[in-house]
């Protein structure tokens, strides 16, 4: 079943669509992180200001090095020792849609091991946008049943996995600069 869902999601994403899918933390809305038009669909659906950037999921070091000019050594140490999903905000991204890059030329990324996301990106050969499945300013849904009809109806495909799972929590967020500054944004 997971392989069929990966296929279905991939077909939608490669055509510039947006999907609703389970991540390693909570349910997210996503698309190809290099497709500016698809990203704009997500901003519109969430009624979110473009000034508020979204994070990007990646499935390994190769993808990370394809998106960042430099990755501080401490980034790998944090990822190795993190006991829960951790989003890192890193400087100077490349090969990514411009609207995902924050004003300070940084990008939030999270490496995932969760099978659906990992294998979908393996098939896409590109990073995947991930933003909570809610209208901007509303609480993040803890389970699929809490996702609003407006969000469900607004995406091009809803992945049919993990719909019963509850209690997902957003990731920790840590900002790392190339000059070795570390700032914890969310624990």
> Under a CB-based contact definition with an 8 Å cutoff, are residues 31 and 127 in contact?
no
Stated pTM of the model: 0.93
**How confident is the model at residue 171, as a pLDDT?**
85
Give the per-residue pLDDT at 63: 96
Mean pLDDT over 158-166 rounds to 80
Where does 85-179 have alpha helices with state H?
115-124, 149-154
> Which of 72, 51, 54, 52 lies closest to 18 in space, CA to CA?
54
DSSP type of residue 132: E
Task: Read off the DSSP letter of residue 28.
Answer: E
pLDDT of 162 over the 80 cut: no
- pLDDT tens digits along 28-65: 999 999 999 999 999 999 998 777 889 999 999 999 99
Q: Is pLDDT of 82 > 90?
A: no
Q: What is the pLDDT of residue 180?
A: 75
Question: What does the DSSP 8-state code read for residue 110?
Answer: E
Residue of higher predicted confidence among 168 and 166:
168
Contact 28, 147 (CB under 8 A): no
Which of these, 63, 62, 118, 52, lies nearest to 85 by C-alpha position? Answer: 118
Q: Name, in order, each residue with C-beta under 8 angstroms of 14's C-beta and a sequence gap of 6 or more.
A: 32, 124
Confidence band, pLDDT 50/70/90 cuts, at residue 177: confident
> pLDDT tens digit string along 84-103?
889 999 999 999 999 999 99
Q: 170: helix, coil or strand?
A: coil
């Amino acid at each position: 079943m997971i392989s069929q869902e990966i296929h279905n999601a991939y077909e939608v994403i490669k055509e510039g669509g947006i999907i609703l899918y389970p991540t390693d933390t909570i349910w997210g809305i996503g698309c190809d992180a290099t497709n500016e038009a698809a990203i704009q669909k997500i901003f519109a659906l969430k009624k979110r200001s473009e000034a508020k950037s979204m994070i990007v999921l990646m499935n390994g070091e190769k993808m990370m090095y394809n998106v960042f000019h430099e990755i501080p050594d401490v980034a790998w140490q944090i990822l190795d020792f993190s006991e829960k999903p951790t989003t890192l905000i890193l400087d100077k991204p490349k090969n990514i849609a411009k609207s995902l890059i924050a004003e300070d030329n940084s990008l939030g990324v999270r490496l995932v091991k969760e099978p659906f996301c990992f294998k979908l990106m393996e098939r896409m050969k590109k990073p995947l946008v991930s933003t909570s499945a809610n209208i901007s300013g509303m609480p993040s849904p803890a389970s699929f049943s809490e996702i609003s009809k407006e969000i469900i109806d607004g995406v091009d495909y809803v992945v049919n996995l993990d719909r019963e799972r509850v209690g997902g929590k957003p990731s920790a967020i840590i900002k790392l600069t190339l000059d070795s500054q570390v700032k914890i944004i969310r624990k």
